[in-house]
Amino acid sequence: MSNGFEEAGKVEPVRIRVGREGEPVGGNFYELVGGRPTFVKLAAKFYEGVAGDPVLRAMYPEEDLGPAAERLQLFLEQYWGGPTDYQQQRGHPRLRARHMPFVIDRDARERWLKHMRVAVESLELPPLLEAELWGYLDRAATAMLNA
């Protein structure tokens, strides 16, 4: 499965299923979950939780969490096969490098996942799509551990 950030500027959408010859079957994940409105809602709901969490909120020096929510939204849209706005605005995601200045330990990971769980559940996605999204988010949270 593509990660949505291919080299040489070519971005391949994440496909839920492919046929025997690698052809896309049933559209890409971004389209299947409802496109931009879904990712806007996910990011906004997640940052509602972050705003009230003293451990995670301390990782965001800006007063307004709106720009952080937009960055998350754009990243997830691109990762899941939507527009490439994130890469056009910010370059390659380099997730570990971008998060390295922050102490991300098991407690921070669990808090992040707690707020993300609420956000994902707010989407009311079909179970298989929710599981696909949650699986990625859980793996990504683990990959960011640095303390």
Tell me what pLDDT residue 19 has: 59
Give the C-alpha separation, 77 to 62, whole Å.
23
Tell me which of 18-32, 53-67, 84-98 is least confident. 18-32
What pLDDT is stored for residue 2 in this prediction?
A: 46
pLDDT-derived band at 22 (thresholds 50, 70, 90) equals low
- Examine the pLDDT at 9 and tell me if it is beyond 70: no
Distance between CA atoms of 64 and 75, rounded to whole angstroms?
19
* pLDDT value for 92: 87
Confidence (pLDDT) at 100 = 87
The residue ranking higher by pLDDT, 11 or 28, is 28
Question: Mind listing the pLDDT tens digit for each residue in 83-125?
Answer: 999 999 998 888 888 888 899 999 999 999 999 999 999 999 9
What is the residue whose two structure tokens read 């990625």?
A: 136
pLDDT score, position 25: 57
What is the architecture of the domain spanning 7-143? Orthogonal Bundle (1.10)
> Cβ atoms within 10 A of the Cβ of 61, count?
5
Q: Rounded mean pLDDT of the chain?
A: 88
pLDDT of 18 higher than 60: no
pLDDT class for 7, splitting at 50, 70, 90? very low
Model confidence band, residue 43 (pLDDT cutoffs 50, 70, 90): very high
Residue 1 has a pLDDT of: 42
